Amino acid sequence: MSYSINSAEKKLSIINLFDLEEKFQKSMQQSNHEKEADFILGGAGSEYTLRHNISDFDDWEIVPSVMHGLCEDDGVTTTKIFDIDLKTPIIVSPSAAHGLVHKSAELGTIKGTFNAGSLMTVSTFSNELLKDIHESSPNAPWFYQFSMDQNEKLSDFLLHEAVTQGAKAIVVGVFGASFGRRERDIRNNFDFDPDLPFRQLAAFPDYPKNLDILKVNGRTRDISPKEIAVIKKKTGLPVLIKGIQTGEDAIRAIEFGADGIWISNTGGRQLDGIRSTINALPEIAKAVNKRVPIVFDSGIRRGQQVFKALALGADLIAIGRAPLYGLHFGGHKGVTSVLAQLQVELLNTMLLSGITTIDEIKQNARLVRTNR
Residue 7 annotated as part of some ligand binding site = no
Residue 252 annotated as part of some ligand binding site = no
Residue 269 annotated as part of some ligand binding site = yes
Residue 264 annotated as part of some ligand binding site = yes
Chain center to CA of 104 = 19
Residue 300 annotated as part of some ligand binding site = yes
Residue 170 annotated as part of some ligand binding site = no
Residue 354 annotated as part of some ligand binding site = no
Residue 199 annotated as part of some ligand binding site = no
273 torsion bin: left (phi>0), alpha (psi -120 to 50), beta (else): left
Residue 331 annotated as part of some ligand binding site = no
Residue 123 annotated as part of some ligand binding site = yes
Residue 184 annotated as part of some ligand binding site = no
Residue 95 annotated as part of some ligand binding site = yes
Q: In the chain, how many H helices and how many E strands? A: 15, 12
What is the Cα–Cα distance from 351 to 74, expressed in whole angstroms? 8
Residues 6+ apart with CB under 8 A from 370: 58, 59, 60, 61
Q: Where are the beta strands (DSSP E) in the chain?
A: 60-63, 79-81, 84-86, 90-92, 120-122, 142-146, 169-173, 239-244, 260-263, 294-297, 316-319, 366-369
**Residue 86 is which amino acid?**
L
Residue 372 annotated as part of some ligand binding site = no
Residue 182 annotated as part of some ligand binding site = yes
Residue numbering of the annotated binding site for glyoxylate: 182, 269
Annotated binding site for FMN: 94-96, 123, 145, 242, 264, 297-301, 320-321
- Residue ranges for the known binding site are 94-96, 123, 145, 182, 242, 264, 269, 297-301, 320-321
